Amino acid sequence: MGWAEQRRSRLEAESLRHRLGLEPTIKANPFDVAQSLDIDVILAPFGHDNSVEGVYLRDAGRPTIFINSSRYRRPATFTCAHELGHHHLLHPDDDRDFIDTKAELYDRQRHQDDIEREANIFATEFLMPEEGVRQVISGTSDPEVATGRITRAFGTSPITAAIRLREIEFIDQAGLTALTSVLENERDRFRAEQAIPYDKVLSRELRLPSRFRRDIDRLFRANVITSDRRDELLDRPIAIAD
């Protein structure tokens, strides 16, 4: 991906924050933003064995974001922001489906898809603008302390915060590997020391619009879910979003 594409992603994120009146250190809520843009955000349990984290679908100009609630104990802030990035970076006349696994969202070094990189840059800049991050971590050289500050300030996961530290060159790649190991292996200790509250568990109750059957069929056709999972989702009781 070239410099121009990276710059476009950052500018789109900066522009959206500006329109929302968000200063660099203020937390952004992509779920609220999606609602304000008339984008349906659906929490649907694709299944724990399903590698898909999130999906962005636009059909006949109508956008929908799906979040795999089976894979989350937290509000999936970065996933939602990533899908919001697809919405902003996609041409208004294009109908597209983006199916995002963990690799698209978090494997920044290996994943080569420029469209996914652009969505990641958008999500990162929207949730954790560099100016705000540098203000938040000012005065510390400890990566764990810096990660805790970013997580509390911007409402992201510790892993996402650690990746951001690498992106602004606060730590090198070896430092990110070591920090990630600490975060994955010592989650409880890290959260206690950094006073990071546990995020609320996502409700397993679906919040769905009236177009749910059509959208679930689209997920099936896109090979996101199996036919058995489609039948399970369509047969279970649903709650219609306000």
Per-residue model confidence (pLDDT) at position 92? 83
Contacts of 229 (CB under 8 A, 6+ apart): 46, 47, 50, 220
Break the chain down into helix, strand, coil percent, rounded to 5: 55, 10, 35
Residue 65, beta-bridge partner list: 41, 56
> How far apart are the C-alpha atoms of 206 and 237, rounded to whole Å?
8
Q: How many residues does the chain have?
A: 242
Per-residue model confidence (pLDDT) at position 239? 46
Helices 114-127 and 77-89, axial angle in degrees (round to 10): 120
- Give 97's DSSP letter: E
pTM: 0.82
Per-residue model confidence (pLDDT) at position 108? 56
Contact 180, 159 (CB under 8 A): yes
Residue 164 has a CB neighbour count (10 Å cut-off) of 23
Residue 65 amino acid letter: I
Q: Which long-range contacts (CB under 8 A, 24 or more apart) does 202-205 make?
A: 202/43, 202/67, 202/69, 202/72, 202/73, 202/74, 202/75, 202/76, 203/43, 203/69, 204/45, 204/69, 205/239
Per-residue model confidence (pLDDT) at position 172? 96
Per-residue model confidence (pLDDT) at position 82? 95
Phi, psi of 21 (to 5 degrees): 75, 30
Residue 63 amino acid letter: P
Per-residue model confidence (pLDDT) at position 213? 75
Per-residue model confidence (pLDDT) at position 200? 65
Residue carrying structure tokens 């920090």: 179
- Show the tokens assigned to 215: 């959208």
* Low-confidence residues in the chain, pLDDT < 70: 1-5, 71-75, 107-112, 200-211, 236-242
